[in-house]
Amino acid sequence: MKPVIAAVASAAALAALVAGCSSSSKSTSSTASASSAASTSSTSSASSTASAPSTSASAAPASGATTLKTADSPDGQILVDGSGRTLYLFESDTTSASTCDGACATAWPPVTTTGTPNSSGVTASLVGTSTRADQSTQVTYKGHPLYTFADDANPGDINGQGSTAFGGKWYVVSPSGDPITTTATASAATPSSTSGGGNGY
């Protein structure tokens, strides 16, 4: 009888041990699953944060706004653009609306802008814009539409000063907004009548 009782007790103990191991395994599996899920969630969240675009970068100002400033020239202080190219007005423009289109606009490209023009060293209240026939926005100064000159290859060139083309005169512009009608460059280029004549002749 005792061997039977011992066998039963042994079987009961074994069953309890198996049950305990199963419970421990389930607990370990549950803990591992929870830990894995938490790790995956944390990694996903970090990845989402890293890939999110910066709001400060998207707040950068739009480009394309023309800058007006002044520069020295043989004719005095004149208006130039942000690259230092000389700006001109066309005397045939009697209002802020440009009358220079087609071939004229090819030879005398209008100064256009895609934003509010910037100014440096000029009178900001004189800076304005007008709408051209092609719906582009042209920069004006004291009501004068502004242009560059195709034959001005470099900043500082004023090859268009005093030209007559497309039915009117073209002049560089002073900081006051008035045309500079003098041509100091032409005077400087005129050879002196007192030079030369040496060599005993």
Strands 67-73 and 118-120, how do they pair? parallel
Answer whether residue 199 is part of any domain: no
| Tens-place pLDDT, residues 84-110 | 999 999 999 999 999 999 999 999 999
pLDDT, tens digit, 9 for 90 and up, residues 16-70: 444 444 444 444 444 444 444 444 444 444 444 444 433 333 333 335 899 999 9
- Judged on CB neighbours under 10 Å (0-12, 13-18, 19+), 172 is buried
Per residue in 69-84, pLDDT (tens digit) is: 999 999 999 999 999 9
In a domain, residue 158? The reply is yes
Query: Does the residue 193 lie in any domain?
Result: no
Whether 58 maps to a domain, the answer reads no
Is there a single domain that holds both residue 24 and residue 71? no
For the chain, the domain total comes to 2
Domain that holds residue 151: 67-188
Within-domain flag for 54: no
183 and 103 in a single domain? The answer is yes
